[in-house]
Amino acid sequence: EDYHERCVQCSEVNWGLTDGGRFYCRTCHNVTERTREIVSSAVTSNTRIQTISKGLRKQEKNDEGWEWYVCEGFQFVLQKQAEALEALGVCPQMKDEILCNFWRRYLQKSQQAYCDRPAGESIKVLSGYESSTDMESEPERPGLLHLLPLSESDGEPLTDCSFGSSTGRVSESTSACSGSVDGTLHARKNKKDKLRMSMPMTLSFCYMALLWLRESMTLSDLLRFVVEGHIPYLNVFQCFPEKMKLYGLDLKIFCVESWPVYEEVHDKMVHLAAFLELPRFPDITESCFLHPDMLCMKYLMEANLPDELHNWTCRVVKKIHIGEADFLTLVPENKSTRKVKYDVLAAAVIVVVLKLLFLLDDHYEWLLSDFAQERNKNNKEDGPYFEFKKWYKVIKNTLDVEQKKMDEQRAKYLWRCEKPLFYSAKKKSKVLKRRQIVVNLQNQFGKLSGSWQPAEKPNPSSFQFNWSEENTDGSCFHGHSLKGVLQEKCGLLTVMNPDYWLCTVKLCTEKFCGRLAHYRDVDFPQSYHFVLRLFSFLLRIQPSCIHEEVCAIEHKLFNKKLYKKPKHNPGQRK
């Protein structure tokens, strides 16, 4: 009744009050920064705040900091990651319009916030929360990630839900073993639960937002930027506000001592999208960067392969219908279809095309290479023919150097955070002094032994290798011709060799082992293994992941020959 200004979004005057005293529009659920002034001094003495999103906490006299929840810590991590992605060129609406709504929906679905309090439950008030009169004198804690309302169907949008009847017990029993209120409760959750919030899950949230916006950043790019330090992930808790104390179980939750795994992040993203009941994602069309034709072009340039191979990758994509929007677009509610890994799919298409043209059986590709080499020596007027042997040597030398560099950096990575952790003002000076002594000793021994120093963070780039046609050493193969491996037949260019070998004759059932095919490098030609190794380095995944996708593409490509001639017993040769 005291607030008569019109809503900036819908121009209505229909205001309500949130639990935190802020005005929100009942028509469009827009929340303002305006708060209601207290006009009555009649305050109940046992009034307590039971929400997690309003940012007011008691500051203990012994300097233990605010009482905070684990979800608030993850909320802060998501904010920092979203800001880093925006700095890398991602659409600015990702954080405020996409990611925060996904996060708010997760809190609501998991009954952590933005939902009605379970009926009939008596919640013990957290001992650290003070009455509203006591908190007027306390400074307001800096806001984390501003969460937006979902829709009118959600009812009262800012009615927060408590953490259940065990919250009071957790706050009393865990204050000595974690800095967060519900650290023990979070740790008790089943670790195999794919929807349990974790640091890899933050990357799943980010990738889901990127996929919704159809950004040009693939999952492999996202994880590579994490490893290179462009996106906060390792030791990100160092950026937490000073009053958010971490110790005990909190460190197990937020302290990461392993690199993110592609399949884990992707799998969590798929389950997360289904859990949130998200609708069909925006269509992946031919103009989108995530389309196989676009990604194949990128990886052909990255792998220093001839540009003419792109025509063949497009033909394979069209032949097996993996470039259609219905195949590429994520539909969370459809559990029967395989979820596409766009970068892995594109790499697998290139591998199949190389097998079609060069066979990759450790014999035929070398014969073609000898023919191209002889032709290039005798004819230097026309463009050079592509030599597989020369390409192999150039790529292998570069790949070995980069692989060794990456292995050394990972092996010597200092997992311990630079910022010392201390949990009280009394111990702060002692911890800082010890840390300074350790740093001084490390620097002294480093100068004496000439030990390795951490390399500077590389500039973010979508490409890891730089192959320029201006190089005079002939190390760039983009403009080389494929005439040495093709022949014209009925007006169409076809491969000279009609043979093809399958990686596997029969796909495995995913229900039993979780994979369509299995890979051991000793069972396959070295040329094939080398190509898989190249793309596994570019995507930072295991060769078995690409091999599995290659097998799936081959069975789509040769489906009629495999399954419509049962009287023959086909071997691996086709």
Give me the residues paired with residue 16 across strands. 24
Backbone angles phi, psi at 568, to 5 degrees: -95, 155
Q: Is 453 a domain residue?
A: no
Is residue 143 left, alpha or beta, with left meaning phi > 0 and alpha meaning psi from -120 to 50? beta
Quick check: is 437 in a domain?
no
Q: How far apart are CA 296 and CA 305, in angstroms?
A: 11
Q: What is the pLDDT of residue 198?
A: 93
pLDDT for res 325 = 94
User: Are residues 365 and 496 both part of a single domain?
Assistant: yes
Same domain, 271 and 303: no
Backbone angles phi, psi at 345, to 5 degrees: -60, -45
Task: Spell out the residues 6+ positions from residue 562 whose beta carbon is closer than 8 angstroms to its own.
Answer: 505, 555, 570
Alpha-carbon torsion (560, 565, 570, 574), positive or negative: negative
Domain end point (choices 278, 308, 337): 278
Q: Are residues 76 and 26 in the same domain?
A: no
The verdict on 105 and 18 lying in the same domain is no
Alpha helix positions (H), 53-178: 70-87, 93, 100-109, 132-135, 167-173
Is position 47 within any domain? no
Structure-block tokens of residue 367: 């014969």
The CA distances from residue 51 to 106, 112, 136, in Å, are 16, 10, 16
One domain, residues 258 and 407: no
* Spatial distance between the Cα atoms of 548 and 536, rounded to a whole number of angstroms: 12
Would you put residue 514 in left (φ > 0), alpha (ψ -120 to 50) or beta? left
**Selection from 107, 104, 88 nearest residue 232 by Cα:** 88
Query: Taking CA 101 as the corner, what is the angle to CA 100 and CA 102, rounded to the nearest 5 degrees?
Result: 90
User: What is the rounded distance in angstroms from the CA atom of residue 327 to the CA atom of residue 343?
Assistant: 15
Helices vs. strands in the chain: H and E counts, helices first: 21, 5
Amino acid (one-letter) located at 370 = D
User: How many other CB atoms are there within 10 angstroms of residue 477's CB atom?
Assistant: 22
How would you list the strands of the sheet with 31-35, edge to edge? Answer: 15-17, 22-25, 31-35
- The token pair that represents 513 in the structure block: 């082992």
Query: pLDDT tens, position by position, for the chain (574 residues)?
Result: 567 788 877 778 888 887 667 777 877 777 777 766 544 444 444 444 344 444 444 444 445 567 888 999 999 999 999 999 999 999 999 999 999 999 999 999 988 887 765 333 333 333 333 333 343 333 444 333 333 333 333 333 333 343 333 333 334 444 446 678 888 888 887 766 778 899 999 999 999 999 999 999 999 999 999 999 999 998 888 888 878 878 778 888 898 889 999 999 999 999 999 999 999 999 999 999 999 999 999 999 999 999 999 999 999 999 999 999 999 999 998 877 778 999 999 999 999 999 999 999 999 999 999 999 999 888 777 789 999 999 999 999 999 999 999 998 888 787 777 766 665 556 667 777 777 787 777 777 767 766 555 556 778 888 898 887 766 666 899 999 998 888 887 777 888 888 899 888 888 766 556 677 888 888 999 999 999 999 999 999 999 999 999 999 999 999 866 655 444 444 444 4
Residue 322 lies in a domain: yes
Q: Are residues 312 and 399 in the same domain?
A: yes
Locate 111 and state its tokens.
């009954």
Residue carrying structure tokens 């954080």: 95
Residue 59 domain-assigned (yes or no): no
The first and second tokens of residue 457, run together, are 């963070």
Residue 14 lies in a domain: yes
Q: Which residues pair with residue 486 across a beta bridge?
A: 495
Q: In terms of domains, do 315 and 260 share one?
A: no
Of 311, 301, 327, 292, nearest to 218 by C-alpha is: 292
Other C-beta atoms closer than 10 Å to the C-beta of 299 total 19
- 400 and 535 assigned to the same domain: yes
Same domain, 88 and 193: yes
Please say which residue of 216, 250, 278 terminates a domain. 278
Q: Print burial letters for 217-256: b (CB count within 10 Å at least 16), e (below 16).
A: bbbbbbbbbbbeebbbbbbbbeebeebbbbbbbbeebbbb
CA 71, CA 254: separation in Å to the nearest integer?
11
The secondary structure of 196-241 as a DSSP string is: S--HHHHHHHHHHHHHHHT-S--HHHHHHHHHTTSS--TTGGGGS-
> Is the distance from CB of 59 to CB of 43 less than 8 angstroms?
no
The pLDDT of residue 7: 81
pLDDT confidence of residue 352 = 97
351 exposed, middle or buried (CB, 10 Å; 0-12, 13-18, 19+)? buried
Tally of domains within the chain: 3
In a domain, 559, yes or no: yes
Question: What's the CA gap between 72 and 145, in Å, rounded?
Answer: 9
Residue 212 and residue 273 in one domain: yes
Domain that holds residue 272: 68-110+178-278
Q: Is 272 found in the same domain as 395?
A: no
Last residue of a domain, one of 257, 278, 299: 278
Task: Tell me whether residue 153 is in a domain.
Answer: no
1 and 106 housed in the same domain:
no
Can you give the three-state secondary structure of 355-412, one letter per residue?
Answer: HHHHCCCCCHHHHHHHHHHHHHHHCCCCCCECCHHHHHHHHHHHHHHHHHHHHHHHHC
Helix residue ranges per DSSP H, 1-138? 70-87, 93, 100-109, 132-135
What type of residue sits at position 417? C
Task: Count CA within 13 A, CB hemisphere, residue 194.
Answer: 15
